[in-house]
Amino acid sequence: MKSDQTLHGGLPAHQGRGSILSGSGALPFLLGNVLLGTIGIFVFAANAHPLTAAWSRCAFGWVGLSVWLLCRREMRHVWLTRDTAPWVLIAASLMVASWGLFFDAIGRTSAGMAVVLFHVQPLFVLGLGGLWLGEPVGRARLGFVMVAMVGLLLATGLLEQAESVRGTGYWIGVGACLLGALCTAGATLIARRLGNLRAGVLAWWQCAIGTTVLLAWPLQHGWPPFGASWAWLAGIGLVHTALAYTLIYAGMARLRTARIAVFQFVYPATAVLMDWLVLGRGLSALQIAGIGVMAAAILMAERKHGQVEY
């Protein structure tokens, strides 16, 4: 019979249940998603083309992660084994593809619609996690994810916006965003599968591939003017890529897929709040209610998690 310490995904029994921060992976994963939620401030201030911003986050993130790994004398861990190399390269490529598809979807639909569609990914995470990793998908957790998605829809304010003409380009954008969400879900599950990989290594490869693939855009279309724009772009790479993804990947390696699916709603909730607090984009009563619904879904899911494993 397994000991109590082998319950709850290899964590000690007292870490497998309890408060919202139970389990050593919850806190870094949540902090990483909060950081990602502030990226809109930096993108707005940088005032650069989306693909230039995407290249910058990869390039500066690559530099930041390299320095961090060198300081910790862990650079040798970026050399992958025969078993891990295919998975790491696939996950990194999926994340870079998701960024490109997301930016394309914003241009074809709207930022609000793209956020809503992109965050269908928790459902993909739950479904693929059950099929591929064999992790059970409880009805309660699925219900909390659906409630959080309703809150997300309210928080974006889409229900209060006038309907626009939806031509072919719009539906191409919808398809691009859904495909991007699927790519992100795939990368999330691969990171979950590579639980023994050092924190930062997967993000390092993600940035390395993105820097190489996206370099053609600024080379052909020009660079932002030297000055404050570059400082904001560097922040996107160092804070919202190097630091945020290191925290997220370190956390998700110790979390069950079902908890990851719910915790991911911290990102869009933070993004909406930052629009209001920093960029001065006022929130309606429905948007405030939406944020409350997302927060309640996360808290209720964790309360349920503390009572029974599901």
Long-range contacts of 214-218 (CB under 8 A, 24+ apart): 214/51, 214/54, 214/55, 214/58, 214/96, 214/100, 215/55, 217/49, 217/51, 217/52, 217/55, 218/51, 218/52, 218/55
Average pLDDT value for residue range 160-166: 56
Average pLDDT value for residue range 77-86: 86
Residue 293 belongs to some domain of the structure? no
Residue 269 belongs to some domain of the structure? no
Residue 216, classified by CB atoms within 10 Å of its CB into exposed (0-12), middle (13-18) or buried (19+), is exposed
**What's the domain count of the chain?**
1
The 10s digit of each residue's pLDDT in 43-75 is 888 888 878 888 998 999 999 999 988 988 888
Is 90 exceeded by the pLDDT of residue 10? no
Give the pLDDT of residue 11: 34
Residue 120 belongs to some domain of the structure? yes
Tokens 């790519």 -> residue: 183
Residue 295 belongs to some domain of the structure? no
Residue 125 belongs to some domain of the structure? yes
> Does residue 89 sit in helix, strand or coil?
helix
Tell me which of 226 and 24 has the higher pLDDT. 226
Residue 250 belongs to some domain of the structure? yes
Sign of the Cα torsion 10, 11, 13, 16 reads negative
Counting residues of the chain whose pLDDT is more than 70, the rounded percentage is 79
Give the pLDDT of residue 134: 64
Q: Which domain holds residue 43?
A: 22-141+162-264
Instruction: Give the pTM.
Output: 0.71
Residue 176 belongs to some domain of the structure? yes
Write down the mean pLDDT value for the chain.
78
Residue 52 belongs to some domain of the structure? yes
End-to-end CA distance of the chain: 21
The 10s digit of each residue's pLDDT in 170-223 is 788 888 888 988 898 888 888 877 767 776 888 899 899 999 989 999 999 888
The 10s digit of each residue's pLDDT in 85-123 is 898 889 888 988 887 888 778 777 766 667 767 777 777
